[in-house]
Structure 1
């Protein structure tokens, strides 16, 4: 039986793992992957750390944290955004989990075995209960994965599963249509969360108004655009957590989150804006936990719309942009210019990928060749204060080559709906690789079959790239697989459906005496063990 580890892939991920630091009141800069990056860190970076476990008795354990935006749905298969995944990660369990050391370990799966290139056997833990007290069985796993295959936003993680055989309540076999190297990593994604077949079937859409899973926290309520609340599940199969209740407040304005953290109104700000990091570091009652991310910030162009259907226009936009200016102004220098559609901390990334640097003369020449010597008017969709500031810099830079940009701001959910439907000319967003496998940075975003909500919101299509992506998914030799991703990245960069902007640094602000928090390399943080000592 195979070890419950990534093997060669885990070694690569560990080599890319970030340097993390708990920057307290010293004010010193900490080097810090997983969702937005800067200081890429070196190959010998330390393992993720945080406040860790306290040594005393549990005192206050009703925890309030704050985030920038609201969840889109409580259905883990109904969306693929990072914000919603926080709730999903705590309400539901999955077969597989990627731990804080970037290793693949079991979640519901007690063990697994690869029988052949296209056959995987899983044994799930016995005695696992859903929040309503009913048993979780292999049939629920089969139902959930088959449901995920039908859901456009997450199907890419499980579509290679051809059929599922349930042997008994705790054993099942996944039969793949063809070899699929990223399978274990894909099964850690929140879109593969396990839900109760009987309840979902009986209740239909009503189930998602009061959902149940097998995760460490139970759903209590959701007040859209204000907060959602969870409570501890005492019968959690891994043992109850230390957090009695968890409330996540929606606070879009970064300054307001920082003030609430300073006053003790909240215990944690999931995301501290770059402009507030020094204030958090200077406060003796707070800690700023930083790390380089596993995400890529990007400007996407709709390749199905004129003039963006012309690669020369897309290349011209890339040459017109000065990414370092965006980093300096918006992130106060806390970022790294992105040379690729893949983050530096993901296995398969290569620093040899040829990116773009600002060259206005070259940009103007390409615009003229494309038939737009005087430029054109277009729109740019964005969501949130930080991305509005990014958009304004991009607006000014593109005006240098005659492109007049109208910035259109949306609430997060409306933004996702608009870009999923392809209503945009251009938009700013980021992609965070939750599985730490290179396929998750490429396949959802650039394969032709994934247009729209699945991830390819640039509506980019290149048959040669499609073929290479499919080859990489089947390749069992890890070294050959990484070479394929290098070739894929370069071809996508040359086609320029995106202007890659930066890899950022994420900062989480917490009260200095809060215990039990550990930063996760992909920002898939867990909050069920947060507490204060008596």
Structure 2
């Protein structure tokens, strides 16, 4: 949801499709302490103001213009680039969002919302879509045209390049697609695709002018900010684009800084060196929440927390064993222990709160007696399994230990095996039988297409069922949304009963801001439009 994560040390972290976080899959090269970064520009802050209370746009009074906001993200060192089609890291995406736009992006429920596109209309067969562009201009004053869109998508899908959105754009036949006029594109698809707007919103599918450019020196996009300066691995300084189609930003300038260590980010925030700290851990949040020095923002339902059972090999090729493991899990204990309470329990389905998520299914509770009975029925009494985990992601090793102890109460011996952070995703994609797993926000449809179809390249549970594949094709060929939702519900009922993902929780994504920062959206999961977005933020 969007480009599927490839499980190796240079590819995407499946927590956040399309993104790779330095520090989860690679070892950060030392603490990039903000104190050593020669912070430029003044604080430009006003009085502390009131704490945020739900609706961020309303809290703190009327928005006002002015000032520079400094935001810190983990970074990628000297290899960082402003090429939006190469955005891998969270900091890369923050810069890309500031400088460029996509045709669509994801709302809080992970449904596609128009951006540079104002509308999209399918034909009766759902294999041709007419997309109408809004009147928008690039930073050089030239209009965004249908030709620019086709150029951008063809650039992304260049077989000689490794751009992140390439797999996401695969449904489009770009040779057959064409510009009907300056602001209308007809996309020809390889097969019926009811959720084609998700393709337009794909991670990394940014629109650039239809010509080669030097992205790192003079990037020309249609985004809310223009580049002032860029020092890879250190900072990017951006200035307000007064002609932005969605309204000029309130900030005069935005400075995106690199700090790989979480401790450096929170200390810089507490010390007044920055106004926005991305990606804080639950312990930090508990320490500072309500303390009056900084604001803690929790983006709910941002990451699925799970264990993946491989359904094509013993013991999990028996659906009774999978159901037993569903019933072994004490989800509340896992959330409290592995996430330090920063999340909510799951129900063995992806996408809680997202479009098409089936909330009607009963919440699964721990039932050790039923679990023991199922294991006995399956001839799996005294079962011994290995649970692969790694410190590749926060809470993984803790969750594995907690589940090991829970399983022991059902007579199951779980041996926890800790693997390498650098190779974990590649190792567990095909090897082993049972592993720690997590995923970032994406549409439910994309989770199914990338991870649960026979041909899915990141099918970690080896869920291979031709009838399930047929249901997905049926959904994608169904024009009526209610009827399509019914098909997705049918698929989710099956997964809830016998799937391979034991989804025990959904974690918060945690941000910190100075108390005078306003307009940071509090309801948008990570990976959605309003996450890491600064054109609607202001300094009170």
TM range (shorter): 0.7 to 0.9
SS in 2 for 1:229: strand
Identify the residue that residue 239 of structure 2 maps to in structure 1: 232
Identify the residue that residue 350 of structure 1 maps to in structure 2: 358
| Alpha-carbon distance in structure 1 between the residues aligned to 2:232 and 2:350 | 34
> Does the C-alpha gap of structure 1 residues 512 and 518 become closer, same or farther in structure 2, counting only changes over 3 Å?
same
SS in 1 for 2:539: coil
2:494 is the alignment partner of 1:484: no
SS in 2 for 1:298: strand
Offset, 1:155: 5.3
Match of 2:393 among 369, 384, 387: 384
| Alpha-carbon distance in structure 1 between the residues aligned to 2:349 and 2:75 | 24
> Does the C-alpha gap of structure 1 residues 126 and 25 become closer, same or farther in structure 2, counting only changes over 3 Å?
closer
Gap runs ≥5 in structure 2: 1-47
SS in 1 for 2:207: coil
> Does the C-alpha gap of structure 1 residues 68 and 487 become closer, same or farther in structure 2, counting only changes over 3 Å?
farther
Residues 140, 194 of structure 1: 8 Å contact kept: yes
Residues 87, 96 of structure 2: 8 Å contact kept: no
Identify the residue that residue 185 of structure 2 maps to in structure 1: 172
| Alpha-carbon distance in structure 1 between the residues aligned to 2:237 and 2:51 | 34
Match of 2:212 among 199, 205, 220: 199
Residues 380, 428 of structure 1: 8 Å contact kept: yes
Identify the residue that residue 286 of structure 1 maps to in structure 2: 294
Offset, 1:191: 3.3
> Does the C-alpha gap of structure 1 residues 333 and 56 become closer, same or farther in structure 2, counting only changes over 3 Å?
closer
> Does the C-alpha gap of structure 1 residues 67 and 121 become closer, same or farther in structure 2, counting only changes over 3 Å?
same
Offset, 1:404: 0.6
Residues 312, 370 of structure 1: 8 Å contact kept: no
Identify the residue that residue 10 of structure 2 maps to in structure 1: none
Match of 1:403 among 414, 420, 423: 414
Identify the residue that residue 272 of structure 2 maps to in structure 1: 264
| Alpha-carbon distance in structure 2 between the residues aligned to 1:81 and 1:486 | 33
Residues 309, 435 of structure 2: 8 Å contact kept: yes
Q: TM-score, normalised by structure 2?
A: 0.73
Offset, 1:26: 9.7
Residues 74, 90 of structure 2: 8 Å contact kept: no
| Cα deviation 1:298-339 (Å, max 9, x = unaligned) | 222344565444544433433332211011223444433211
| Alpha-carbon distance in structure 2 between the residues aligned to 1:512 and 1:209 | 34
2:465 is the alignment partner of 1:462: yes
Identify the residue that residue 138 of structure 1 maps to in structure 2: 146
2:333 is the alignment partner of 1:325: yes
Residues 95, 256 of structure 2: 8 Å contact kept: no
2:346 is the alignment partner of 1:338: yes
| Alpha-carbon distance in structure 2 between the residues aligned to 1:346 and 1:425 | 29
| Alpha-carbon distance in structure 2 between the residues aligned to 1:357 and 1:289 | 29
| Alpha-carbon distance in structure 2 between the residues aligned to 1:428 and 1:100 | 26
Identify the residue that residue 455 of structure 2 maps to in structure 1: 449
Task: Report matched runs for 1:448-527 at 5 Å.
Answer: 448-452=454-458, 456-523=459-526, 524=528, 525=531, 526-527=533-534
| Alpha-carbon distance in structure 1 between the residues aligned to 2:484 and 2:110 | 19
| Alpha-carbon distance in structure 1 between the residues aligned to 2:219 and 2:64 | 34
Offset, 1:64: 2.3
SS in 2 for 1:461: coil
Task: Report matched runs for 1:39-78 at 5 Å.
Answer: 49=57, 55-59=63-67, 61-66=68-73
**Size of the alignment, in residue pairs?**
475
> Does the C-alpha gap of structure 1 residues 304 and 181 become closer, same or farther in structure 2, counting only changes over 3 Å?
same
Identify the residue that residue 6 of structure 1 maps to in structure 2: none
Offset, 1:165: 0.9
Identify the residue that residue 7 of structure 2 maps to in structure 1: none
Residues 288, 509 of structure 1: 8 Å contact kept: yes
| Alpha-carbon distance in structure 1 between the residues aligned to 2:80 and 2:466 | 33
| Alpha-carbon distance in structure 2 between the residues aligned to 1:447 and 1:208 | 39
| Cα deviation 1:139-165 (Å, max 9, x = unaligned) | 331233345566796456443333311
> Does the C-alpha gap of structure 1 residues 236 and 107 become closer, same or farther in structure 2, counting only changes over 3 Å?
farther
Q: TM-score, normalised by structure 1?
A: 0.74
| Alpha-carbon distance in structure 2 between the residues aligned to 1:84 and 1:304 | 37
- Structure that is richer in helix per residue: 1
| Alpha-carbon distance in structure 1 between the residues aligned to 2:73 and 2:146 | 36
CA RMSD of aligned residues (A): 4.1
- Which range moved further: 323-332 or 302-311? 302-311
> Does the C-alpha gap of structure 1 residues 274 and 195 become closer, same or farther in structure 2, counting only changes over 3 Å?
same
2:203 is the alignment partner of 1:190: yes
Identify the residue that residue 92 of structure 1 maps to in structure 2: 100
> Does the C-alpha gap of structure 1 residues 50 and 506 become closer, same or farther in structure 2, counting only changes over 3 Å?
farther
> Does the C-alpha gap of structure 1 residues 382 and 466 become closer, same or farther in structure 2, counting only changes over 3 Å?
farther
Identify the residue that residue 432 of structure 1 maps to in structure 2: 440
| Alpha-carbon distance in structure 2 between the residues aligned to 1:257 and 1:139 | 41
Match of 2:283 among 275, 278, 281: 275
SS in 1 for 2:430: coil
Offset, 1:228: 5.3
| Alpha-carbon distance in structure 1 between the residues aligned to 2:131 and 2:181 | 11
- Which range moved further: 86-95 or 443-452? 86-95
Offset, 1:125: 4.4
Residues 381, 415 of structure 1: 8 Å contact kept: yes
Match of 2:232 among 207, 218, 222: 222
Residues 100, 208 of structure 2: 8 Å contact kept: yes
> Does the C-alpha gap of structure 1 residues 377 and 335 become closer, same or farther in structure 2, counting only changes over 3 Å?
closer
2:304 is the alignment partner of 1:296: yes
Residues 208, 220 of structure 2: 8 Å contact kept: yes
Residues 448, 466 of structure 1: 8 Å contact kept: yes
Residues 94, 187 of structure 1: 8 Å contact kept: yes
Residues 138, 209 of structure 2: 8 Å contact kept: no
SS in 2 for 1:279: helix
| Alpha-carbon distance in structure 2 between the residues aligned to 1:354 and 1:81 | 37
Identify the residue that residue 246 of structure 1 maps to in structure 2: 255
